[in-house]
Structure 1
Amino acid sequence: MNDFVIMLKNRKIIMLSFLSIMFLLLGLLLIILTWGENMIFPQVLGILIVLIFGFCLIYYVKVLVAKEPALVISNEGITDNSSYIGAGLVKWNEIENIDFFEMSGQLFLGIATYDRDLIINRMSGMKRIFNRMNKGLLNTQVNIAVKNLDCPIDELVEVINNRWQGAMEKNK
């Protein structure tokens, strides 16, 4: 069977890039307006805004240029590259449960692994820190925003169920 490849919605990434630019400009404006003043908090806040949204903008531009798949569902497992902290390949035999959940009004595809630290142990640097923060918020180790995927949810569910069942039958 061929791999099922899902891309990110370009329109969504362009919108997020635009929002990153707006916040980047807001942070720069905050720094410029408080420069030379004795206002430490607004300057620190401005620097943090510039750093965070600058990195976001770099990531979104990279995503737009690279045109790499967000999700690849294969006979081997699910490869998540849908965000900066994407889990990479999660093999079917590492997956305990797959479910959809809603958080802050947004639908997510959640993948729980048998080893709760599996994804964190694979990461390094900032990705490891962000994944560790996610671990405290959610019960699943891989969390994919469905609205960012350029695929109908019904088709996504069907492909995942078929590949997972096929892998489980093969391993019996």
Structure 2
Amino acid sequence: MTTPSNQIEIPLSKTKLFLLFAGSLVFVILGIWLTWYELTTSPYHRKRPYFGLVIGPLANIFFGTAAYFLCKKLFDRKPGLIISDEGIFDNSGAFNIGLIPWTDVLRIKEVSVGKQTFINVVVKDPLAYIARQKEPIQRRLMKMSYDMYGSAIGITSNGLQCRRKDLLELLKANFRKWKRKQNQIVNDNHIS
């Protein structure tokens, strides 16, 4: 959706977010069941001793955390992503990155993690974006992303009302447009 002030707003998809939230809750319930089964079943009847005591709590931590962030997003009324002449305002995922000015952006690339593909925004000073995060878990996850993939900022279309391919092209096109505008300004100043 385009607004009159030359910015593109991509809303959060409440349907996608709800389905992800429901899926996370299913895995939390399975984690609880695995743990309960392990604690209440005789060791002689189990094929893999202590499997449920390891996998169950891990599932609860991972999918419980995902459910928490997805629940917060379900009630978020702000657009998921805004692309403007100033840059990208990212509110699409668990981390509210805020404004990423085009002046900070070095490149926009795709990164695959298993079967999931993310759009990474490579910025000049990723540590500054990591430091902006208020929650320690978010800072740690962004630092891990930076260490593994070279970018602390990953944008996914999973919770947005658009497809990843379209979002990637939209981001790259607007970045190219901004760079052309900057080159034109430099050339105009150089001629004067």
TM score, norm. by length of structure 2 = 0.73
1:105 Cα deviation from its structure 2 partner: 4.3
Does the 8 A contact of 1:107 with 1:146 survive in 2? Answer: no
Q: Which has the larger radius of gyration?
A: 2
Does the 8 A contact of 2:143 with 2:152 survive in 1? Answer: no
Does the 8 A contact of 2:6 with 2:84 survive in 1? Answer: yes
Unmatched 5+ residue regions in structure 1?
Answer: none
State the Cα deviation string for residues 25-84 of structure 1 (Å, max 9, x = none): 101101221236786663343223223222211221221222322211123221112111
RMSD of aligned Cα (Å): 2.8
Which segment drifts farther, 157-166 or 18-27? 157-166
Q: Report what 1:128 is aligned to.
A: 139
1:22 Cα deviation from its structure 2 partner: 0.9
Does the 8 A contact of 2:108 with 2:172 survive in 1? Answer: no
Task: Assess, with a 3 A threshold, how the Cα gap between structure 1 residues 22 and 64 changes in structure 2: closer, same or farther.
Answer: same
Decide which of 61, 80, 84 is 1:74's aligned counterpart: 84
Decide which of 54, 63, 68 is 1:53's aligned counterpart: 63
If asked which structure has higher relative contact order (CA below 8 Å, sep 6+), I would say 1
Q: Report what 1:140 is aligned to.
A: 151
Q: Report what 2:24 is aligned to.
A: 20
1:169 Cα deviation from its structure 2 partner: 5.4
TM score, norm. by length of structure 1 = 0.80
Does the 8 A contact of 1:74 with 1:163 survive in 2? Answer: no
**2: CA distance, partners of 1:51 / 1:103:** 20
